[in-house]
């Protein structure tokens, strides 16, 4: 399934969306789609709604159009559909091609892509340097030749990335970006018909090697003019092969292929008319080594990327099993339930919520920082649906003066300031580990009565919760077989599980 245009409209992290959707236990159902949007910060509710009531829908909603989840934007009687493509249809077409399923959404803060480095600015900077060098240091014919090579490198890079499922806006625009255009399908048809396979590389990959090679050689003018002229003429064979496939095999034209052919022909003309035939054995050897190195490098990158994609697919399939809610609930409720007293210390969120999460932690525990961050994120996302309690393990006098003062400062801020201020204080502590900074926020000189916290610590010990951090969900200890941050994938189902949340729990 392809939701590229829909994802772009919501400015979601595309890689994260597809990973979460593909790894959902109910993939590729409506539930998987809805849960993925919820996980990425796009809160939504699903409805089965007869068409007669669609007039009352907001101007933007998600529907199943032609069996594909699509963002529908309404303006008067015209509708714009965003899914794998963008298209405009009228109301009759929409109603005819849609199911009764609709998703109404409320956009909150969404997850942006922070996991991968964007190489494009770096690449553009290199291109700019090569162009400036060519324009100011080389003859006009040589500069134009280099610029054409850079265009070929850029297009070839886009084609290389597209092999691994990364949509190329440039390629799509060249091939024809409209929804009803046949040229875009022609490009895909030509690319898929390429049966070349030399150590995993296709013909389009060799275009990248070719243009990278002549770009490097083009910077060494005038010594390499002979090689560039010879290499340009060698490309005639590729041109004839491409024209033959388009005209006689597939009987359709590929605009990207035609653009590359135009670049190659332009370079043939430039090199034939303006470049010299000064032969140099050294340059021939350097060129051979250069192209061999580029070939081996691209084989390595291609194999590495293929392995990464295979691992990503395998991981997504494995996670479908791991994120199965029924299995998680079974593991969660497998152990004996823990009963705590009705101690309200450090209780956050909605006190009347049916889902209660406790974290047993220690301010001086290195791993507790991440556990508290998870709870902060959950409170921010589900402020009315959950309650959270921080159960710091503090034994009393034997804990030390600094620990006693720190817990007293936490207690004072919790009692006298807002929940948000208290959470910010805990977050500041785990970031800086500076007792004086927390004491300054509190303004407390004399330690408070910490009986309630000592009582909580005693209960933690009686329940065997001596190691930190530990999550307790409605009295059940978070299962060891899961990572703590996996709770994000189950929290919405825990909230909606009436059997689970209806159990009486003491906090």
**Which tens digit of pLDDT belongs to each residue from 175-204?**
765 444 444 556 766 666 667 778 888 888
Assigned domain for 299 exists: yes
Cis amide linkage into residue 468, ω under 30° from 0:
no
Q: Report the chain's mean pLDDT, rounded to a whole number.
A: 85
- Mean pLDDT, range 222-231, rounded to an integer: 88
Q: What is the reported pLDDT for 186?
A: 63
Q: How many helices (H) and strands (E) does the chain have?
A: 20, 11
Tell me the C-alpha distance between 207 and 217, whole Å: 15
CATH number at residue 68: 3.90.70.10
pLDDT grade for 299, boundaries at 50, 70 and 90? very high
Domain that holds residue 13: 4-107
**How confident is the model at residue 495, as a pLDDT?**
92
pLDDT band at 438 (very low <50, low <70, confident <90, very high): very high
Q: Does position 209 have pLDDT exceeding 90, yes or no?
A: yes
Dist. CA 23–CA 124, nearest whole Å: 35
For the beta sheet containing 60-65, the strands, ordered from the edge strand earlier in sequence to the opposite edge, are 42-48, 98-107, 60-65, 68-75, 78-82, 86-90
Q: 74-83 contacts: CB < 8 A, separation 24 or more?
A: 82/5, 82/6, 82/8, 82/9, 83/2, 83/3, 83/5, 83/6
Residue 426 has pLDDT above 70, yes or no: yes
Three state DSSP letters for 56-78: HCCCEEEEEECCEEEEEEEECCE
Q: Which residue has the higher pLDDT, 396 or 433?
A: 433
Q: For 461, how many CA atoms within 13 A lie in the half-sphere containing its CB?
A: 9
Distance CA(432)–CA(456), nearest Å, equals: 26
Both 52 and 74 in one domain: the answer is yes
What's the pTM?
0.59
Cα–Cα distance between 175 and 221 in angstroms, integer? Answer: 34
DSSP character at residue 335: S
Q: Indicate which CATH number applies to the domain containing 332.
A: 3.40.30.10
Q: Are strands 386-392 and 355-361 parallel, antiparallel or unpaired?
A: parallel
The mean pLDDT value for 100-124 works out to: 69
CA dihedral in degrees (413, 414, 417, 419; nearest 10)? 130
Whether residue 58 is found in the same domain as residue 192: no
Do 125 and 103 fall into the same domain? no
Same domain, 141 and 260: yes
Q: Is the pLDDT of residue 429 over 90?
A: yes
Nearest to 507 by CA among 334, 352, 329, 331: 352
Q: Which of 306, 340, 367 is the last residue of a domain?
A: 306
- Shared-domain flag, residues 431 and 478: yes
Report d(CA 101, CA 78) in Å as an integer.
20
Cα 382 to its chain centre, rounded Å, is 22
Q: Is residue 318 part of a domain?
A: no
The tally of domains found in the chain comes to 3
Q: How many CB atoms lie within 10 A of CB 377?
A: 14
Question: Which domain-ending residue is among 58, 80, 107?
Answer: 107
151 and 269 in a single domain? The answer is yes
In a domain, 488, yes or no: yes
> Residue 361: helix, strand or coil by DSSP?
strand
Whichever domain contains 204, its CATH number is 1.20.1440.130
pLDDT in tens, 258-268: 899 999 999 99
Q: Is the pLDDT of residue 50 over 90?
A: no
């Amino acid at each position: 399934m392809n939701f590229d245009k829909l994802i772009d409209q919501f400015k979601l992290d595309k890689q994260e969306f597809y990973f979460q959707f593909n790894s959902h236990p109910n993939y590729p159902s409506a539930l998987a789609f809805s849960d993925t949007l919820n996980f990425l910060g796009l809160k939504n509710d699903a409805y089965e709604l007869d068409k007669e009531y669609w007039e009352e829908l907001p101007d933007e909603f998600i529907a199943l159009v032609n069996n594909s989840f699509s963002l529908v934007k309404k303006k008067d009687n015209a509708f714009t559909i965003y899914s794998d493509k963008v298209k405009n249809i009228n109301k009759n077409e929409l109603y005819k091609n849609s199911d009764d399923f609709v998703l109404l959404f409320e956009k909150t803060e969404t997850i942006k892509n922070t996991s991968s480095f964007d190489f494009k600015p770096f690449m553009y900077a290199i291109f700019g340097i090569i162009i400036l060098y060519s324009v100011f240091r080389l003859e006009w014919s040589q500069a134009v030749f280099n610029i054409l090579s850079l265009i070929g490198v850029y297009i070839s890079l886009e084609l290389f990335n597209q092999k691994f499922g990364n949509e190329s806006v440039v390629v799509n625009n060249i091939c024809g970006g409209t929804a009803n255009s046949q040229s875009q399908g022609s490009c895909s048809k030509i690319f898929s018909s390429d049966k070349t396979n030399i150590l995993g590389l296709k013909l389009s990959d060799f275009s990248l090697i070719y243009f990278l090679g002549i770009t490097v050689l083009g910077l060494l003018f005038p010594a390499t003019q002979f090689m560039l002229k010879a290499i340009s003429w060698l490309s005639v064979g590729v041109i004839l092969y491409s024209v033959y496939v388009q005209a006689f095999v597939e009987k359709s034209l590929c605009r990207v292929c035609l653009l590359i052919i135009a670049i190659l022909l332009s370079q043939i003309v430039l090199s034939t008319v303006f470049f010299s035939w000064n032969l140099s054995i050294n340059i021939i050897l350097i060129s051979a080594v250069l192209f061999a190195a580029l070939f081996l490098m691209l084989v390595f990158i291609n194999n590495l990327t293929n392995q990464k994609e295979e691992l990503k697919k395998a991981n997504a399939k494995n996670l479908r099993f791991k994120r199965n809610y029924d299995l998680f609930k079974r593991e969660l409720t497998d152990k004996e339930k823990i009963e705590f007293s009705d101690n309200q210390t450090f209780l956050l969120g909605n006190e009347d919520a049916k889902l209660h999460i406790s974290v047993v932690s220690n301010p001086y525990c290195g791993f507790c920082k991440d556990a508290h961050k998870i709870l902060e994120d959950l409170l921010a996302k589900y402020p009315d649906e959950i309650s959270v309690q921080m159960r710091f393990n503090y034994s009393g006098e034997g804990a030390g003066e600094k620990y006693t003062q720190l817990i007293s400062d936490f207690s004072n801020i919790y009692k006298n300031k807002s929940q948000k201020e208290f959470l910010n204080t805990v977050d500041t502590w785990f970031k800086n580990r500076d007792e004086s900074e927390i004491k300054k926020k509190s303004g407390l000189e004399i330690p408070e009565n910490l009986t309630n916290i000592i009582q909580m610590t005693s209960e933690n010990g009686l329940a065997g919760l001596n190691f930190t951090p530990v999550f307790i969900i409605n009295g059940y200890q978070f299962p060891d077989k899961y990572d703590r941050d996996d709770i994000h994938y189950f929290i919405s189902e825990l909230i909606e599980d009436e059997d689970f949340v209806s159990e009486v729990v003491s906090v």
